[in-house]
């Protein structure tokens, strides 16, 4: 990953860590289930955005490096890997 | 939430907090993007299981209490709320 | 289902049938894969909207009838069924 | 698409067309909402499998042709297109 992407992901993950701690507190304080679920959905959406960011960086750096290398085997490997990881994604 | 569900969710959320910290470390150490994404997908799946747990507890306690109350307005409110929150879920 | 919802769903399903036939033609004419996939995604989204429509009608009629009946067993059955069917939904 | 994949997709789409007609009949006959929704979910899953099939064929033919061509611009275009279409997928 490039420097900017790494910093941005690190910042988002620290924020997500705080949200997970907030969730623990909500559960301990026995807050209303629907509010807990809504907050879990928000944390999952935030993680999805980090996933998007890492994948975009991967395509523009690692996959692009394979393209520039001209190495067909490497290119095929990167495409398979990308299809596999994108296939496992969930919303 | 009942006591068991609350303890179990708390335990899972503490584990998820550790996984999010692990993700921060992976990003700092510039680990391979695909491994980072795979780990993000695992954390999102773990959060989904906590969501399932909270919702199951909600249905068997809060919604069931509304049914036992015999209060139609309350029952309608619980059903709408449930449909809304289940509609916002993502895999 | 009430009359309006039934007519509206029927109309949408006839349109979807036409789209599926269009897809068969695209495949026979060997149209570009990405265009075929984009069209499959559109048909799946259209089916999802019919699903939404049927579920909304179900909640406002069948589930509501169970609430009005005052029959706790029936209410519990409707809620379980709703949670199960909403849990199987995909985007 | 290659011949086998085209025939297989055609066959599946004809079956799906029949399922959509079956759905119209279920709606006309005012069948129970939950059964209609369950059947819509089955048709959407069947369409998802056709989508998988077309995408797999696309990767092993169109994307692979771009790799063999050694044309970097074409390779980049195919990767972007693939990421876009996989990003729009839903379960």
Res. B41 pLDDT band, cuts 50 70 90: very high
Q: If you compute the radius of gyration of chain A from its CA atoms, what whole number of angstroms results?
A: 18
Overall domain count for chain D = 1
pLDDT in tens, A46-83: 999 999 999 999 999 999 999 999 999 999 999 999 99
Task: Encode A26-52 in three state secondary structure.
Answer: HHHCCCCHHHHHHHHHHHHHHHHHHHH
What is the spatial distance between Cα A19 and Cα A42, in angstroms, rounded to a whole number? 9
Specify the pTM: 0.91
Residue A52: closest C-alpha in chain B: B37
Q: What per-residue confidence (pLDDT) applies to C40?
A: 98
When CB atoms are compared, the residue of D9, D23, D51 closest to C27 is D9
Residue B38: closest C-alpha in chain A: A85
pLDDT in tens, D40-86: 999 999 999 999 999 999 999 999 999 999 999 999 999 999 999 99
Per-state percent for chain D, helix, strand, coil, to nearest 5 = 85, 0, 15
When CB atoms are compared, the residue of D33, D57, D88 closest to C62 is D33
Q: What per-residue confidence (pLDDT) applies to B65?
A: 96
Contact D67 A76 (CB under 8 A): yes
SS3 B29: coil
Distance from CA of D21 to the nearest CA of C (A): 7
ipTM, interface predicted TM-score of the complex: 0.95
* Better-scored residue on pLDDT, A91 or C29: C29
pLDDT at B44 > cutoff 80: yes
Residue-number span of the structural domain to which D38 is assigned = 3-87
**Any CB–CB contact under 8 A between B15 and chain A?**
no
**Any CB–CB contact under 8 A between B48 and chain C?**
no
Q: Say which CATH number the domain at B61 has.
A: 1.20.58.1000
- Chain C: touching chains (3 or more CB pairs < 8 Å): B, D
């Amino acid at each position: 990953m490039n420097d900017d992407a790494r910093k941005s992901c690190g910042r988002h993950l620290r924020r997500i860590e705080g949200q997970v701690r907030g969730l623990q507190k909500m559960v301990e304080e026995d807050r209303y289930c629907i509010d807990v679920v809504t907050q879990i959905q928000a944390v999952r959406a935030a993680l999805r955005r980090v996933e998007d960011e890492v994948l975009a960086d991967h395509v523009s750096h690692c996959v692009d490096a394979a393209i520039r290398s001209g190495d067909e085997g490497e290119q095929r490997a990167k495409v398979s890997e990308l299809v596999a990881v994108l296939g496992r994604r969930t919303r």
